[in-house]
Structure formats: C-alpha cells, structure tokens
C-alpha cells in the first residue's frame, strides 16, 4: 500500500505519479497567474499612478497619495519579478495581505461598474424618443 502525507494527513492507494503531475500543472497555472498579476500591477503603478519601479518618482499633483497607493494597494507580490519593491512579506500573512489588496481592487472596479450602469439607466429613462414632441 502506497501512502502519501499531505498536510499531516496520510492518504493511501494514491498514484504518486498522478499527484506529481497535478502539482506541476497547478504550479504552472499559479506561476502564469502571478506573472499576469505582476504585469497588471506594474502597468497601473507606472502608467496610471506614474510611480516607477526604478528611479525617482516625478513630482506632480498628489504625488504622496499616488506613492502611497502604489506601495499599498498596487504593491508587487513578494517573490515575484518585482518582489524586491514589495511591501508584502514572502510568507502566509504577506500573501493574505496581497490577496486583500487585490480584493480591494476588484471591489473598486465593481463599484465603478455599478455606478456606470446606474448612470446609464438614469440617462436612458429621461431621454426623449422620436415619437415625442420636442421640448
């Protein structure tokens, strides 16, 4: 009987080759997600917030606020390509903090989208149609 220990639990009758292959695929998928996250966060930091990863930050309106947002909400992930600039630690609490910052980003996008939908609905309800007399 072949047993494998996963998180201090022993599982028996598991084909170890299948487990190894599955771990490789999961690792490849999470690495691809990490690279995509690195690219998105870098574009937001450098193009939108104008806070470069390398070199001095240009002065401008709200430079302190932009730098704070870039270092907290849009900070690179620890252990990634730009990990040396990360405010997150490369451990479980750092990963949880990074996930929380990405949730904040998703919530902001969702709230903005909801506001646009409400605005569109408000505008389309008050517009005149072709069959109405002009006012």
Arithmetic mean of pLDDT, 1-30: 77
Read off the pLDDT of residues 84-106 as tens digits, 9 standing for 90 and up.
Answer: 667 788 888 888 888 899 899 99
What is the structure's pLDDT at 83? 60
What gap in Å lies between CA 48 and CA 43, rounded to an integer? 7
pTM: 0.63
- Residue 106's alpha-carbon distances to 20, 24, 26, 99, 101, in angstroms, are 33, 28, 23, 11, 9
Query: CA torsion 90→49→51→65, rounded to 10°?
Result: -80
CA 125 – CA 87 distance, rounded (Å): 46
pLDDT tens per residue across span 41-61? 888 888 888 888 776 777 778
Q: Mean pLDDT in the chain?
A: 80
Predicted pLDDT of residue 125: 65
Quote the CA–CA distance of 70 and 22 in Å, as a whole number: 35
Beta pairing partners, 4: 11
- Residues 6 or more apart whose CB falls under 8 angstroms from that of 50 comprise 57, 58, 60, 66
Residue 45: exposure state from Cβ atoms within 10 A (0-12, 13-18, ≥19): buried
């Amino acid at each position: 009987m072949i047993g494998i220990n996963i998180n201090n639990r022993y599982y028996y009758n598991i084909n170890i080759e299948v487990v190894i292959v599955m771990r490789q695929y999961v690792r490849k998928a999470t690495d691809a997600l990490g690279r995509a996250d690195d690219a998105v966060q870098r574009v937001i930091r450098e193009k939108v917030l104008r806070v470069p990863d390398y070199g001095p930050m240009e002065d401008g309106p709200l430079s302190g606020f932009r730098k704070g947002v870039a270092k907290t909400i849009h900070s690179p992930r620890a252990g990634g390509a730009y990990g040396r600039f990360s405010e997150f630690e490369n451990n479980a609490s750092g990963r949880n903090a990074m996930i929380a910052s990405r949730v904040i980003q998703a919530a902001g996008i969702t709230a903005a989208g909801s506001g646009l939908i409400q605005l569109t609905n408000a505008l389309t309800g008050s517009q005149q149609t072709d069959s109405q007399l002009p006012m």
